[in-house]
Chain A
Amino acid sequence: MAEIETTVGPEEGIHGRPAARFVQTAKGFSSQVVILKGDREVNAKSVLKITGLARKGERITIRAEGEDAEQAVEALAELISADEH
């Protein structure tokens, strides 16, 4: 299992195009990936679940379980903390 805590970067938070980009990236990994925010845990490969989950500047945790878990959390954390999409 791998886990990274990060801050949401995009101006509009997680939805729309940044959300689509995030989910596309998550789907590229075979690991199961979830996002944790507060006491919520959602499937990181579901755009409907991650939409509206967090706003710019909020802390989230990305957790993955599987063969490519390390790579998955790193790639996704970098994507979601960047300010541009």
Chain B
Amino acid sequence: MKLTGIGASEGVAVGPSFVPDTDRPEPERDRITEDEVEAELARFRKATEAVAASLAETGAGLRSSGHEEEAGIFDFHVEMAEDPELASSVEERVRKLHSPEAAVLVAGEEYATQFAEMDEYMAARADDVRDVTGQISAELMGRSNSSFAAMQTPSIVLARTLAPSDTARIKAGLALGFVTAEGSRTSHVSIMARSMGIPAVVGVGEALEGALDAKRVAIDGNEGTAITDPDEETVARFQRMSAALAEERAALDEYRHVEARTSEGRRIEVAANLGSASEAEDALGWGAEGVGLFRTEFLFMEREELPSEDEQYDAYSAVARAFGEKPVIIRTLDVGGDKDLPGVDQAHEENPFLGWRGIRMSLDTPDLFQPQLRAILRAAADGNIKVMFPMVADVGELKDARMMLQETRAELEAEGVRTGALETGVMIETPAAALCAAELARESAFFSIGTNDLVQYTLAADRGDERLRRLQSADHPAVLALIRQTCEAANAAGIPVGVCGEAAGEPDMIPRLLTLGVTELSMSPPSIPRAKKVVSEL
């Protein structure tokens, strides 16, 4: 049987299955007698202390091994175990002659129900409360709350969901992978799997029920699939894939933090494309030497009001501070008419990709553009920020945008607000910009070629149309000619030229891009070590 879910942690593995008993503990007794009250309350306090101490120990272990994010989960759990309101609610029930092991579950469930009703993120906190109160109840009954003690051989864990206390109790090296019915990429189990470096497939749904009897499981965390009781051929295939991936990963790990240089000694900066400030730490871990493209759309999408200048400043400043002296290129807003923007009348467009977007929209809506420029100028005081304008088609647009930037800076200075130095560059993603590159170079401090849109516009081929796959690669003579022309203009003007489209991370494309004169590559963070290796071997 094949299970399909979300590939939440990459890698493949095959091994025996292990199904932990994660059912909630059943209280042994519901009621106590009047003369037991004080003794039971003392037992409850002791149990919460024991659980809090054990959680704190797990957290400290994670922290000392560098897993700060996971350790934070345990800080939260310790506080829940020691919560004064939880304690008084349990005490109240015990005084009404309920057993503490039952009372703590009921009290925990009240909070869990509240949290579950809020939103998706808070629903995950509901599981946290149930997890902690379940541990206190189990402690009161003198039971181990974990069936992971029974796990002896390295196995693939199959469960409805896995709480932090579950994953933390698994002995090192015993878990080969996780398959869960619930969860998303941001669930605890996914975070833990990535930090443990094992594959995880989450959110397989009800199908998991039918897989619990499996003797053996093969899991592919890249594809997001798991095969129960695989045949010998599949097992052999997974074992080969697993070995090859382990070898490749080890080989690439050496490249994470090197400065990529070709054999001729050309230094190529390898940076990350980021969609939000929260991805900064992860990108640095992959070896990012800067941010070649910081998309700002995430701040504007799926919300009812436009983000305030302060909110934007917080996001830009956070990424700038995370990267310190390393450059961070912020691209001003680029939303097409295919996506809604709160409070902006975009009107329906026949061809949103050829419509009112990027710098075109920004120049027409100062109410949208100026707060963004103000936030970027302020954040520039906190790090090495550069700004880049998208969808530029001629030098007039660039001049207008730079004028607006200058006016905004003067305005901030008049107000006495701290700003920082800011280089301005152009995203080369329309054929027009590539053809006008020489003129644009005189007004820019850098270029960044957005190959995804440049390919789509040059070859007149929709990026989303499956049938046009042949016309969706930067490896086309027309696209390469435009890249060459852009690089020549940049080199003549003495400004750097980067690539921040998918092509920048493709091992086959990197040598070509460098030959054409590209000086920087920016890509999704996990592609960075491979790109550095490719550059180093040229």
Contact = CB atoms under 8 A, between A and B. Distances in A.
Interface string B298-311: 00000000001001
A3 B410 CA distance: 38
- Most chain-B Cβ atoms within 10 A of its Cβ — which of A16, A45, A51, A84? A51
Contacts of B118: 52
Contacts of B125: 15-16, 51-52
Contacts of A19: 76, 79
Contacts of B72: 16-17, 20
A79 interface: no
A12 B311 CA distance: 13
B79 A49 contact: no
A48 B90 CA distance: 14
Contacts, number: 60
Interface string A1-42: 000000001011001110111011000000000000000000
Given A57-B311, A83-B314, A83-B318, A47 B115 contact: no
A56 B310 CA distance: 12
Contacts of B129: 48
A43 interface: yes
Given A45-B84, A46-B85, A11 B278 contact: yes
B318 A47 contact: no
Interface residues of B, number: 26
Contacts of A9: 314
Nearest to A51: B125
Nearest to B86: A48
Contacts of A56: 311
Contact of B75 (A12, A17, A49): A17
B121 A51 contact: no
B59 to A, nearest CB: 10
Contacts of A11: 277-278
Please classify the interface of chain B as helix (H, G, I), strand (E, B), loop, or mixed, using the class held by over half of its residues. helix
A24 B79 contact: yes
Contacts of B268: none
Interface string A51-66: 1100011000000000
A19 to B, nearest CB: 6
A28 to B, nearest CB: 13
* Interface range for A: 20 to 34
A71 B524 CA distance: 45
B519 to A, nearest CB: 33
A15 B76 CA distance: 8
A22 B132 CA distance: 19
B84 A17 contact: no
Given A15-B125, A16-B125, A83-B314, A48 B76 contact: no
Interface in B85-118: 85-86, 111, 114-115, 118
- Most chain-A Cβ atoms within 10 A of its Cβ — which of B79, B115, B277, B311? B79
B509 to A, nearest CB: 35
Contacts of A52: 114-115, 118, 122, 125
B79 A23 contact: yes
B73 interface: yes
B85 A49 contact: yes
Contacts of B84: 43, 45-46
Contact of A17 (B76, B83, B85, B115): B76
A24 B72 CA distance: 13
Contacts of B73: 16-17
B335 interface: no
B85 A15 contact: no
A60 B76 CA distance: 21
B79 A15 contact: no
A78 B526 CA distance: 36
A3 B283 CA distance: 40
A29 B242 CA distance: 53
A51 B75 contact: no
A66 B308 CA distance: 37
B333 interface: no
Contact of A48 (B85, B121, B314): B85
- Most chain-B Cβ atoms within 10 A of its Cβ — which of A12, A46, A57? A46
A47 B76 contact: yes
B115 A51 contact: yes
29 contacts: A11-B278, A12-B121, A15-B76, A15-B121, A15-B122, A16-B73, A16-B76, A17-B73, A17-B76, A19-B76, A19-B79, A20-B72, A20-B75, A23-B79, A24-B75, A43-B84, A45-B84, A46-B85, A47-B79, A48-B80, A48-B85, A48-B86, A48-B111, A51-B122, A51-B125, A52-B118, A52-B122, A52-B125, A83-B317
Given A9-B314, A15-B125, A16-B73, 20 more contacts: A11-B278, A15-B121, A15-B122, A20-B72, A24-B75, A24-B79, A43-B85, A45-B84, A46-B83, A46-B84, A47-B79, A48-B80, A49-B85, A51-B122, A52-B118, A52-B122, A52-B125, A57-B308, A83-B314, A83-B318
Interface of B: 72-73, 75-76, 78-80, 83-86, 111, 114-115, 118, 121-122, 125, 129, 277-278, 308, 311, 314, 317-318
Interface of A: 9, 11-12, 15-17, 19-21, 23-24, 43, 45-49, 51-52, 56-57, 83-84
